Amino acid sequence: MKRSFVCKSCGHVSPKWLGRCPECGTWESMVEDAQGPSHGHGLHGDTGSFKAIALSDVSSLDEGGRIEVGMDEVDRVLGGGLVPGGLVLLGGEPGIGKSTLLLQVLMRLEGKGERVLYVSGEESLSQLRLRADRLGRCGEGLFVASESDLERVLGLVNDLRPSVLAIDSVQTLSAPDIASAPGSVAQVRESTAWLMRTGKRLSLPVIIIGHVTKDGAIAGPRVLEHLVDTVLYFEGDRSYSFRILRSVKNRYGPTHEIGVFEMRETGLEEVPNPSRLFLGQQASAVPGSVIVPCMEGTRPILVEIQALVSPSYLAMPRRTVTGFDTNRLALLIAVAEKHLGVVLYDKDIFINVAGGIKISETASDLAIIAALVSSLQEQPVCLGTAFFGEVGLTGEVRPVGRADIRLNEVARLGLRRCVMPTVASQGIQVPEGWMSCRWIP
Ligand SMILES: Nc1ncnc2c1ncn2[C@@H]1O[C@H](COP(=O)(O)OP(=O)(O)OP(=O)(O)O)[C@@H](O)[C@H]1O
Ligand SMILES: [Mg+2]
């Protein structure tokens, strides 16, 4: 057998071991791949009875219908439900609640009359039962198996013919033909490929759980993410009880859509109104605290940005940021110094997005600058005011998309004022009871 080495992070194959992957630059990521690349010799282009057919003659997947889970937060992230034959990869850090979410999804599906199979290679059946008891009633259509042998799992699928299959986790599965240990690149890749083929053949939606590595990527090669139809990440801060389900790849739905949940003793509870969760309880206006309406997929969420600006006694003043991009902060500090005339180079600056959420939208630029100036001058911004707008290098405030949706969310949560770019406000309905005023510098 030909020996080859494969990179755990990007799947690059090399005939000899290398300390650093030449493809993605990761150190010590090459592991031995017992299988090695296959070379197709002697191809003659003989199709036999195999023919291509016109796409217009192929029946659409939507005719078979998506399988709605019945949890709005999950269905929205999936783009309307599970697709028959679709393979969903659910990744997340250890202990974040992946198994809990999966079991809850399966229990909902079972409640709607689906026949579901949950295969766990990590927990025993009685442990699964313990969790299920915590989460609610489990009906007769939810089948469980504690198994890690891929062949036996596929046999079980053929016997039981479930309408949804769930695997917890792909790292525990072992394919019989592969010599390497479960969880290795070759095993994970082979098991996923088999599950995908089985799912497509039986029009069976498959959900697999994948662990993430220290740097946040799903363990196993990157090819795993290319292989599956949908990649969801379940994330959250351990110190908070809320969890976010994020879609990073979806062949049959939108990406960057999120679902918000709260971890309770009785399981994960959907949070249909996340703004209340992330918004601090502001009784009085305090310097350095500003509210911004951010968009997460199609949904607006109000978040509180907190800034602390204090004199620095260090040669290199400190810039500590939680939940926001450090480089973007450096840019905004430079813009504020240049165009607002504030002095920040000798100040320590701390930025925190309250509630542990991460924001990556440029719409929060204006709010960050407002928070910085507010903290620097010890002047609170008016209570009940939100800010949004992108700030350019020349100091201009640029419009951002979905201004109307943001404004409505601000009004819905009882705020009474919003500072936004003038261009974005054109043609927008001002919420009831608000006064429209324009300030053109
Ligand atoms: N009785 C309880 N009350 C509240 N929260 C609980 C309770 N039991 C478990 N949890 C929560 O569930 C989490 C564990 O969930 P789960 O086992 O689904 O995580 P996981 O992502 O599947 O973990 P792993 O990677 O180890 O498989 C715990 O971290 C805790 O937050
Ligand atoms: Mg688990």
**Per-residue pLDDT tens digits of the chain, which is 441 residues long:** 677 888 777 778 888 888 988 888 888 878 877 654 555 556 777 777 778 888 888 777 655 688 999 899 999 899 889 999 999 999 888 889 999 999 999 999 999 999 999 999 999 999 999 999 999 887 899 999 999 999 999 999 999 999 999 999 888 988 887 777 787 777 888 899 999 999 999 999 999 998 876 665 666 556 688 889 999 989 887 777 888 898 888 998 877 778 889 999 899 999 888 877 777 666 578 899 999 999 887 788 899 999 999 999 999 999 999 989 999 999 999 999 999 999 999 999 999 998 778 888 999 999 999 999 999 999 998 888 899 999 999 999 998 888 888 988 888 888 888 898 887 667 777 777 777 676 655
Q: Which of 89, 90, 98, 100 to mutate to test the pocket of ligand 1 (most atoms within 8 A of CB)?
A: 100
Q: What is the structure's pLDDT at 123?
A: 92
Taking the CA of 131 as reference, the closest ligand is 1
Specify whether 9 is located in the same domain as 76. no
Domain membership flag for residue 45: no
Atom 16 in ligand 1: residue holding the nearest Cα: 97
Any atom of ligand 1 within 6 Å of the Cβ of 263: yes
Specify whether 113 is located in the same domain as 28. no
Domain membership flag for residue 309: yes
Specify whether 313 is located in the same domain as 392. yes
Specify whether 105 is located in the same domain as 15. no
Q: What is the structure's pLDDT at 214?
A: 63
Quote the pTM value. 0.78
Closest atom of ligand 1 relative to the 95 alpha carbon: 23
Q: How far is CA 203 from CA 48, 53, 285, in A?
A: 26, 19, 56
- Those residues whose beta carbon sits under 5 angstroms from the ion ligand 2 are 99
Specify whether 29 is located in the same domain as 70. no
Domain membership flag for residue 349: yes
Domain membership flag for residue 49: no
Q: Which of 211, 263, 268 to mutate to test the pocket of ligand 1 (most atoms within 8 A of CB)?
A: 263
Q: What is the structure's pLDDT at 223?
A: 66
Domain membership flag for residue 50: no
Strands, E assignment, 86-222: 87-92, 116-120, 142-146, 164-168, 206-211
- Host domain of residue 360: 276-425
Taking the CA of 134 as reference, the closest ligand is 1
Any atom of ligand 1 within 6 Å of the Cβ of 98: yes
Dig out the tokens for 252 from the structure: 């049959």
Residue 156 has φ and ψ, to the nearest 5°, of: -60, -40
Q: What is the structure's pLDDT at 355?
A: 76
Specify whether 91 is located in the same domain as 124. yes
Any atom of ligand 1 within 6 Å of the Cβ of 96: yes
Partners of 91 in beta bridges: 210, 233
Which CATH number does the domain housing residue 401 bear?
3.30.230.10
Q: From the centroid of its chain, how far is CA 313?
A: 39
Any atom of ligand 1 within 6 Å of the Cβ of 57: no
Residue 220 has φ and ψ, to the nearest 5°, of: 100, 175
Domain membership flag for residue 59: no
Specify whether 280 is located in the same domain as 322. yes
How many domains are contained in the chain?
Answer: 3
Specify whether 337 is located in the same domain as 360. yes
Specify whether 94 is located in the same domain as 127. yes
How much distance in Å is there from the Cα of 220 to the middle of ligand 1?
Answer: 23
How many other CB atoms are found less than 10 A from the CB of residue 290? 27
Residue 27 has φ and ψ, to the nearest 5°, of: -85, 145
How many other CB atoms are found less than 10 A from the CB of residue 243? 22
Q: What is the structure's pLDDT at 62?
A: 57
Specify whether 146 is located in the same domain as 212. yes
**Count of alpha carbons within 13 Å of 231, Cβ hemisphere only?**
18
CA distance 404 to 425: 8
Specify whether 184 is located in the same domain as 93. yes
CA distance 17 to 5: 6
Specify whether 125 is located in the same domain as 264. yes
**What burial letters (b/e) apply to 398-422, b meaning 16+ CB within 10 Å?**
ebbebbeebbbbbbebebebbbbbe
- Give CA torsion, residues 206, 207, 210, 215, to 10 deg: 120
Atom 15 in ligand 1: residue holding the nearest Cα: 97
Any atom of ligand 1 within 6 Å of the Cβ of 94: yes
Q: What is the structure's pLDDT at 282?
A: 62
- Type of residue found at 142: L
Domain membership flag for residue 42: no
Which residue is listed with tokens 């990157």?
Answer: 222
Any atom of ligand 1 within 6 Å of the Cβ of 95: yes
Which of 417, 421, 418, 416 minimizes the C-alpha distance to 440? Answer: 421
Taking the CA of 120 as reference, the closest ligand is 2
Any atom of ligand 1 within 6 Å of the Cβ of 141: no
